[in-house]
A = this chain, B = another copy of it.
């Protein structure tokens, strides 16, 4: 039974900045240290020296988190208690409003060969304008019985699909096989009662195949992460915070919106994100600053680029400190080791910098030093209560 922090929340004139380096974590091997250990990070090291460090697990030991649970944990939500499908995340990121009863899924435009096997799960990372034309054809041509369907293009091959109608149930299996050389999967009901939704999804997939037949690049749509609208309690309700998000990528803007953050305008880069922080500094007491390039480089397996992405964030720390935050938290939503070119289960380094956090004698930010830090090894969701405490925002528990 966790502590009900909403009962302990108290106001304070303090500001917390949560810096999320997406996919920050890595693992050391025989040849070298992690990306963070190998990066030159004088400013993050200074935060570590003046603060406390540790390692955090977003979901649980050995569990590789998706971006949704990884971020929910950073925002102080138990990701096992609050689930988010990729559909709901994409919808929030695109500012597509899901109504109760809607079922949303993340779609990939994909290339099948003549035998119907997946050749490219991303249709050659099709250009946005070409994808928009394909999605237009789908919007005009797909018609289901007893449900309406809408298609919302995201970047490149990514499409949000929303089904609306009576009695829909998101508990159906993905059609995306997550690999090539095999045909798309048929959607199947995962619980009694979701058969009709599975049928609609299969009908939708078949119509898309017919409509796009003969196109060399995008001739199929792979669906995954079926999800329905679910209300999350806001960070205001849970922690008494007035939070803002400074994120560039739609999905992170979306999840921030789902927990009640005001999402500030899109910035072009990290400098722009910091400028936004400064511009809106007085209106909020919690800022979520999302840094994507660490994860992108990790997903591409590019060690040097991930190191550079970490060093770029490090270079922004002085400007962040100049704003005068009371608490800075730096961590990641999950690990993305370049050796794996994918998300992983490895614990993620974390630091909390605040006047009262308690210095722990560690003066470098990196996995091996964090293992001996004062924050210990703990669930990611512990970071927010610690930040609230350091910001003077939690009352005493019990007499």
State the A residues within 8 Å of B (CB). Answer: 1-3, 5, 8, 26-30, 34, 50, 54-55, 59-69, 78-81, 83-87, 89, 106, 224-225, 227, 337, 339-340, 343-347, 355-361, 367-368, 371-378, 382-390, 394-399
Contact = CB atoms under 8 A, between A and B. Distances in A.
A395 B28 contact: no
- The CB with the most chain B CB atoms within 10 A, among A54, A59, A80, A398, is that of A398
Nearest to A1: B80
Contacts of A59: 3, 397-398
A27 B60 contact: no
A-B CB proximity, top 7 nearest: A376-B377, A86-B399, A62-B385, A27-B358, A66-B398, A62-B389, A61-B382
A327 B83 CA distance: 31
Nearest to A394: B62
B28 A84 contact: no
Given A345-B386, A347-B374, A377-B376, A396 B27 contact: no
Contact of A63 (B3, B60, B339, B358): B3
Contacts of A29: 355-356, 358-359
B387 A62 contact: yes
B397 A66 contact: yes
A206 B66 CA distance: 58
A367 to B, nearest CB: 7
14 contacts: A3-B60, A27-B356, A28-B359, A29-B359, A30-B50, A55-B376, A63-B394, A63-B397, A66-B396, A337-B356, A347-B376, A360-B368, A361-B368, A371-B374
A87 B399 CA distance: 9
Contacts of A346: 358
A8 B69 CA distance: 15
B55 A374 contact: yes
Given A27-B359, A343-B396, 14 more contacts: A8-B63, A61-B382, A61-B386, A61-B389, A79-B397, A79-B398, A84-B398, A86-B399, A344-B389, A345-B389, A359-B368, A372-B372, A377-B377, A377-B378
A16 to B, nearest CB: 12
A225 B1 contact: no
Contacts of A68: 398-399
A184 B218 CA distance: 71
A96 to B, nearest CB: 16
A69 B389 contact: no
A33 B26 CA distance: 32
